[in-house]
Amino acid sequence: MSGDFKCGSILTHNVSDHQNKKYVLYLIGIASVVRMFFASQVELGNDEVYYWTYALFPDWSHFDHPPMVGIVAQIFSLNLLLQDDFFLRFGSIILSAISTWTIFRIGSKIKNTTTGLYAAYLFTGSIYCSLIGGFSFSPDASLVFFWLLAMNAMVDFLPVETLTSVERKKILWFGLVAGLAMISKYQGAFLWFGVFAYVIFFNRNWLKEISFYLAGIISFIVLLPLLIWNMQNDFISFTFHGNRVTPALEIRPDYFFTEIFGQVGYNNPVNYVLIVVALVALIKKKNFIDRKFSRYLLAMTIPLWVVFTGFSVFRSTLPHWTSPAFLALMLLAAAYWAERKGSEARIFFWIKFPSYFLVTLMFIALYIINYSPFQLGKTSPLVNFGEYDFTQDLYGWDQVGEHFKTIASREESSGRMPAGAGVVSYKWFPGSHLDFYAAYPLHRNVFLMGPMNDIHKYAWINQQRGGLKQGQDYYHIAVSNVYADPYERFGSYFEKIEPMDTVEIKRAGKTMRYAFFYRLKNYNGTYLNPLPAR
């Protein structure tokens, strides 16, 4: 049987390792081009534009996340020299390309290059890996990147019984990349949980090795600046996340099932079925993977999955918190399906199908976000027009910025507002959108007024921008999809609030939402910025 093509499918069991590598490189190239196209077409979402502030105001850590997402943006945008939607996402796209190759390498090590190829396709078909961690400007891109680098090192040292200098160097490298995963997102700590679980249950030889402890020291050194920042800020980041997952007394089945269905969705339903079939085969002791590698993959899955899925029994969780655990499960599924013989073309179709499905979803989403005339949210009252329409997060902010430029020029040339007046908003979303698309391009500052859980990093940004000035006038921009009454929010801080303009934000010639522009006159100096005392 030919090793090339038959009926449009690659018969991967009969192709050479070289050909499998070539197919993975094709996959990486095509996926990267698709992601770059979408990165150039879609405006930043609310999380993405907030993370831009991490690059704009770098620090050893931040209120709600470690610093790596900002560092990646600084590197790939040339320290924000190339500052637009595309280049802020460019780092995620590049890291995702390398991550796809890395999961291929891991799959090749645990079984063969067909396993690696299948794993690369499952990775690309995952909504979490391809979009949240592969396209979106988010902490998950670097988390997945360093997580897979750590797993690639672990497969070389963790199951080895007779340790040499090669394995000792590998575990030191693991210590470094595990530390970098932790300063990407706190879930990175579960890399060490996986190592400890494997070592304690299956390979205690590592407990006698000084390199094992040196690797832990390396991770700690990488993490140390983050810890010092939290010490200086009353451990505010840990407190914030701790409050999100602290178990309540009430059992909530609705939260649990939301979490499970979310895991299915984020990892792609077809991927999920392929993984479940492989897990059932493993439980039935089907011999499709070396036991030492199945143990390694389960050690990388169980701690993270059990902890956050367990939280969902009591608290509302976000399903993508467990998603790094599915990287190991993709490898397990790839090993199982690579073992199946006799129907390679049909199997490979289903391995590829999640990627086709995801690309189709992306084009549908692009149409809905950028070109659809349909209003998916509220249509009344006016101040809530567009509320609950998820596409509003990713569309129309450039229009808001253009309208603000015109209105500010008019107001300042007429003397009704001072030249260069800043903007006041009330929450990190939409405050960071207004910052990126409206104020920052005009060299104006945005200040957020509200409690810490509403303004997040802007508590520090307010200070770094010099703070609100008593007696000064400011603009406020409210958008109808996330409207808050400015008189209620800011009435106690300003002598007078005056409406200026109401403009329509359109898509395909139809009004999608409204933007309301106000003057906030004569700040009285009474707002207390909620930074923790030092």
Residue-wise pLDDT tens digits, 305-362? 999 999 899 888 888 999 999 999 999 999 999 988 767 888 999 999 999 999 999 9
> Residue 132: phi, psi to the nearest 5?
-65, -45
The per-type count for the chain, helices as H runs and strands as E runs, is 22, 7
Q: Is position 376 within any domain?
A: no
CA separation for the pair 423, 221 (Å, rounded): 40
Q: Quick one: 387 and 361 in the same domain?
A: no
Residue 372 lies in a domain: no
Closest alpha carbon to 169 in 104, 218, 112: 218
In a domain, 313, yes or no: yes
- Shared domain check, 335 and 253: yes
**Quick one: pLDDT at residue 27?**
97
> Which of 333, 366, 399 is where one domain is finished?
366
| pLDDT confidence of residue 241 | 80
- Looking at the structure, do residues 422 and 336 belong to the same domain, yes or no? no
The answer to whether residues 316 and 405 belong to one domain is no
Question: Does residue 450 share a domain with residue 310?
Answer: no
- Between the alpha carbon of residue 434 and those of residues 49, 53, 266, 305, the distances in Å are 9, 12, 29, 37
Residue 85 lies in a domain: yes
- Answer whether 127's CB lies under 8 Å from 262's CB: no
Q: End of a domain among 366, 392, 421?
A: 366
pLDDT digits (tens, 9 = 90+) for 466-494: 999 999 999 999 999 999 999 999 999 99
Helix (H, G, I), strand (E, B) or coil at 96: helix
Which among 304, 334, 366 is the end of a domain? 366
Q: Are residues 287 and 431 in the same domain?
A: no
Q: Look at residues 1, 344, 318 and name the one whose alpha carbon lies nearest to residue 187.
A: 318
435 found inside a domain: yes
Query: Rounded distance, CA 76 to CA 82, Å?
Result: 8
Number of domains comprising the chain: 2
**293 and 181, same domain (yes or no):** yes
Residues 421 and 334 in one domain: no
Tens of pLDDT, residue by residue over 134-144, are 999 999 999 99
Rounded to whole angstroms, the maximal C-alpha distance in the chain is 82
Is 532 a domain residue? no
pLDDT-derived band of residue 15, with 50, 70 and 90 as boundaries? low
Q: What pLDDT score does 247 carry? A: 66
Same domain, 97 and 197: yes
Report the distance separating Cα 262 and Cα 256, nearest Å.
Answer: 10
Q: Is residue 371 part of a domain?
A: no
528: in domain: no
pLDDT of 8 above 60: no
Are residues 262 and 200 part of one domain?
Answer: yes
The whole domain housing 291 covers: 5-366
Residues 343, 388 share a domain:
no
Same domain, 340 and 401: no
Amino acid at 299: A
Two tokens, residue 533: 């005392």
Q: Quick one: pLDDT band at residue 242, thresholds 50, 70, 90? A: confident
Cα–Cα distance between 408 and 518 in angstroms, integer? Answer: 11
